[in-house]
A = this chain, B = another copy of it.
Amino acid sequence: MDILVLNPGATEEQLKHIIKKLEGRGLQANISKGTERTIIGVIGDTSKISEDEENAIRAMPGVEDALRILKPYKLASREFKNEDTLIDVRGNIIGGRKIQVFAGPCAVENKTILMSIAQKVKDAGAAFVRGGAFKPRTSPYSFQGLGEEGLKYLAYVRKKTGMPVITEIMDPRDMEVVSKYTDIIQIGTRNMQNFRLLLEVGTAKKPVLLKRGLSATIKEWLMAAEYIMSKGNQRVILCERGIRTFETATRNTLDLSAVPVLKKLTHLPVVVDPSHGVGKWDLVAPMAKAAVAAGADGLIIEVHINPEEAFSDGEQSLRPDDFATLMKELKPVAAAVGREI
């Protein structure tokens, strides 16, 4: 909180009470008495004022509003660290000149299918294989993932293809088992503000890909990254995957402007998941290109050898051939914005 706006009818006594409160916290008050309102600029290290104290101050008699100008996140901010964070995963740099592609099925179903998909996306140019072993599903009656068995298949595929692996964690109790098999830990949309899980992965030795919550502001998203970083894990990758709006023509509304906004605010790499963003396979290709043009550092794309038989999200999965075509088409787009893929 850096600015206090007083009520039109705030009294001198209330003003003094507020100033005293601020001084009690080692801060100074710079008073601007306007014709209609008095505004207090708070001078000193206002980052020490917690969210809670801010709310309390907002509740003081005479105060109409308390505005925070300074960003509430620190470790994640460009001001704290100006140069881009590069994350090296088995030699693949995320956040550098090369746009990294993570591809694979929504859910790990069995070893053969996973292996087959992985080989095909590798041939097409993907660097990472993705696949869910623990699946957050809207319905308790839907397939919930293979669990550790699925993780083992991922590890098997990594060994065979050499591709590093990304998979989702849903429960802090799974930290050990997930960390054992994966190269990057994914936090899904529904868990972006599962703070206990964030703190847990904050202690992991693996990079964390943090998906944006369905209705999370960019600020809240960066605060979620800050949770992870505050525990010592600085290797956070942000993933835009669509927000919830009134529009129903697409599954979600892919907010590509988040990419350049984040590039200004944070040093962390930003990737885009067009598959979840739009929810329909034939919209994935144009939005993947748009994401690259907007400055994304990577793409997560669902690919399945037989979408019609996929255990989940078949509707939004590309077939390997379509994925290979897309990879080819992405090359000149990446080059057009000074990147490679």
Which A residues are closer than 8 A to B by beta carbons? 2-3, 5, 8, 30-37, 39, 41-46, 50-52, 55-61, 65, 67, 69-70, 72-73, 79, 136-143, 170-173, 190-191, 193-196, 199, 214-215, 217-220, 223, 226-227, 230, 243-250, 253-261, 264, 277-278, 281-283, 286-287, 289-295, 307-315, 317, 329, 332-333, 335-337
Contacts and interface: CB of A to CB of B under 8 A. Distances in A.
A71 to B, nearest CB: 9
A335 B291 CA distance: 16
Contacts of A194: 170, 190-191, 194
A169 to B, nearest CB: 10
Contact of A59 (B143, B199, B308): B308
Given A136-B195, A293-B293, 13 more contacts: A32-B41, A35-B43, A51-B138, A56-B309, A56-B311, A72-B139, A170-B196, A172-B173, A218-B249, A261-B283, A290-B290, A329-B336, A332-B332
Contacts of A244: 215, 246
A210 to B, nearest CB: 14
Nearest to A29: B32
Contacts of A2: 34, 37, 39
A257 B287 contact: yes
17 contacts: A2-B34, A32-B43, A39-B69, A50-B139, A50-B143, A51-B312, A55-B314, A56-B310, A59-B307, A140-B226, A246-B246, A254-B256, A256-B287, A257-B283, A260-B286, A293-B293, A333-B336
A288 B25 CA distance: 36
B196 A218 contact: no
